[in-house]
Structure 1
């Protein structure tokens, strides 16, 4: 692939996901039913599952071009953010829903947020880093 082609595909997938999310929220809010809504919902779920796999792979692929010092800084930032978001999520769940604390939910949200904040610019990188 060309240098900028992978990032262009990623941007297009992000735009499709954002548009699909808005349409799905509108369909659920207005109780839209039918075959078209079902097929659109299935396509949206498949796009979401594809992005869950695609984004980490592209991030790893693009991070190979970085220097080891930069990767260490990003990993340190990722671990710190993961711990902070996980702890905050747990504390807020304990305060507001003390009878129903779900650690898997709390730490999966923290994992996604920390990964997104730490590595989003690597995912959308267009040119090679020397």
Structure 2
């Protein structure tokens, strides 16, 4: 049985990211200061930026395998969730922090949440066997 290399790579990168996040949170929480922890945190930062580019790329690559009706329903779900999360975030900012309303922050959080809810399973699609 042949394994999909992109799927294995994606799962491995997600596992490394989760472990790196746990270690980074521990380092920051315990306030550990050394050159090794600084290098680790800088590596984790670069790895995070890589993941921010890799995940949408793989999601778009894998979405080519979906039928148009499924892509359309996911896009509709994405747009609806983006609008809903944006409105909720803006309302909470207006109620709790009326002097610090930041639309760019609200939109970026809404974009990330809506994308991950709508398309996270597409990232892990397997190649169809012939």
Relative to the length of structure 2, the TM-score reads 0.94
The unaligned stretches of length 5 or more in structure 1 are none
Q: Which has the higher contact order (CA 8 A, sep 6+)?
A: 1
**Cα distance between partner residues in 1 of 2:42 and 2:72:** 39
User: Does the C-alpha gap of structure 1 residues 104 and 129 become closer, same or farther in structure 2, counting only changes over 3 Å?
Assistant: farther
The correspondence of residues 42-57 of structure 1 with structure 2, limited to 5 A, is 42-57=42-57
Instruction: Give the conservation status (yes or no) of the 8 Å contact 1:65–1:129.
Output: no
1-structure distance, mates of 2:110, 2:28: 26
Residue 8 (1) aligns with residue 34 (2): no
TM-score (norm 1): 0.94
> Post-superposition, which runs of at least 4 consecutive aligned residues in structure 1 deviate over 3 A?
none
**Aligned residue for 1:69?**
69
Cα distance in 1 between the residues matched to 2:87 and 2:47 = 30
- Could you tell me how far 1:128 is from its partner in structure 2? 2.8
Instruction: Name 1:101's counterpart in structure 2.
Output: 101
Show the counterpart of 1:78.
78
Residue 118 of structure 1 deviates from its aligned partner by 0.4
C-alpha separation in 1, matches of 2:68 and 2:98: 42
Shift of 1:5: 1.6
The CA deviation string for residues 50-92 of structure 1, in whole angstroms up to 9 with x for no partner, is 0000001101110111111110000000000000001101101
The two structures, once aligned, show a CA RMSD in angstroms of: 1.5
Unaligned runs of 5+ in 2: none
